[in-house]
Amino acid sequence: MMALVKLFNKPNKLKRFTSLTPDQFTLLVSRIRPLWVQAEHDRLSRENRQRAIGAGRPYKLASLEEMVATILLWYRTNTTHELIGWIVGIDGTNVGRLIKRLSPFLEPAADPTLITLLKEGKQARKKIRTWDEFVTAYPDLAEVIVDATEQRRKRPTKKRKQKRVYSGKKHAHTLKTQVVVSRTGRIVDVSKTYPGRVHDKKILDLENTITKLPRQAKKRMDKGYDGATRDHPQAHIVLPHKRRRNSPPLSRGQKRANTLRSKARILVENTIGRLKKYRVLDDKYRSSEQDYNQHFRNIAALCNYRLATV
């Protein structure tokens, strides 16, 4: 992949194609390398392997740098595997195989705390006595913003599944994922992926998001989570004022409060916007539905990685 050498000579081009600077790219590859080496050792030395180590067809992309650049190129552009294969010099089918084999290592390399932060915080609450000490140890959990994002997907062939994944809000067949974002813009939690028909509040309940977060933490949400304060009266949940049916209009003070809360909550919209700069989360998703959540988590980890290595 001679183009990779040219991209390193033009950092702006490298960032456009992979979203990373040369230093960020090099550091990410160095973190992925031990994970990749261990996985390849386990694959080649498994008990049911019929060939000796060293036998078989080698990878056409010789370096790990080229492999990482390939999957980042797909995340960034969401172009077809055939076109990416033509660019990097391999078959389109091999591009899909490479992405599937390499994708499990991106999240632990880019941001290993994405999957462990809430668990660590929950355990730390039992040991740390005061809230001030907890905020000092885990500043990203002091105030969070919760929201869900939808992405169009291919229409299923079966009518029953079409109904299950149809989003009345988007008027399309979608996949929905919830994110929890700190005041610094860091993504601290990513939920499982649900069909577009599932309501935001339902995902909040299924994921037990409120119980995962500290009780004293300020949790900002939009009107889609109406009822969360009723279900969790002890939690510090901030929702916008909502006019009820057959009730008087909102007062001027309530409207001003909604404006201030919207300004505080806009950070999660900006974070979702950063996620969707990776076209694979913005355009219609065309790949395997089973791999979608892994790709979403990888891109969330990449966003955190870029934020931490600016």
- State residue 293's pLDDT score: 96
Pairing of strands 187-195, 218-220: unpaired
Using one digit for the tens of pLDDT, what is the confidence trace for 128-140? 889 999 999 999 9
User: Lowest-confidence range among 70-74, 113-117, 119-123, 299-303?
Assistant: 119-123
pLDDT of 1 strictly over 60: no
Q: Show the tokens assigned to 131.
A: 């809230």
- State residue 247's pLDDT score: 86
- In DSSP terms, which residues pair with 180 in a beta bridge? 146, 189
Q: Alpha-carbon distance 71 to 133, whole Å?
A: 41
Instruction: Give residue 55's Cα distance to chain centre.
Output: 37
pLDDT higher at 89 or 151: 151
Q: Whole-model pTM above 0.75? A: yes
Placement of tokens 């062939």 in the chain: 157
- Of 57-61, 201-205, 222-226, which has the strongest mean pLDDT? 201-205
- Of 17-21, 90-94, 191-195, which has the strongest mean pLDDT? 191-195
- State residue 56's pLDDT score: 67
- State residue 42's pLDDT score: 84
Q: Show the tokens assigned to 225.
A: 């989570």
Q: Alpha-carbon distance 128 to 144, whole Å?
A: 20
CA-CA-CA-CA torsion sign (11, 66, 101, 288): positive
Kindly indicate the confidence band of residue 80, based on its pLDDT and cuts at 50, 70 and 90: very high
Kindly indicate the confidence band of residue 271, based on its pLDDT and cuts at 50, 70 and 90: very high
- State residue 300's pLDDT score: 97
Instruction: Give residue 242's Cα distance to chain centre.
Output: 30
pLDDT of 223 strictly over 70: yes
- State residue 36's pLDDT score: 92
Using one digit for the tens of pLDDT, what is the confidence trace for 174-195? 999 999 999 999 999 999 999 9
Using one digit for the tens of pLDDT, what is the confidence trace for 35-62? 999 988 888 788 787 777 666 666 777 7
Average pLDDT over every residue of 68-97 = 91
| Contact present, 186 and 140 (Cβ < 8 Å) | yes
Task: Give Cα separations from 83 to 45, 63, 90, 283 (angstroms).
Answer: 33, 20, 10, 17
Average pLDDT over every residue of 105-132 = 91
**DSSP at 288:** -
pLDDT higher at 215 or 126: 215
Burial label, 48 (beta-carbon count in 10 A; 0-12, 13-18, 19+): exposed
Average pLDDT over every residue of 265-274 = 95
Kindly indicate the confidence band of residue 3, based on its pLDDT and cuts at 50, 70 and 90: low
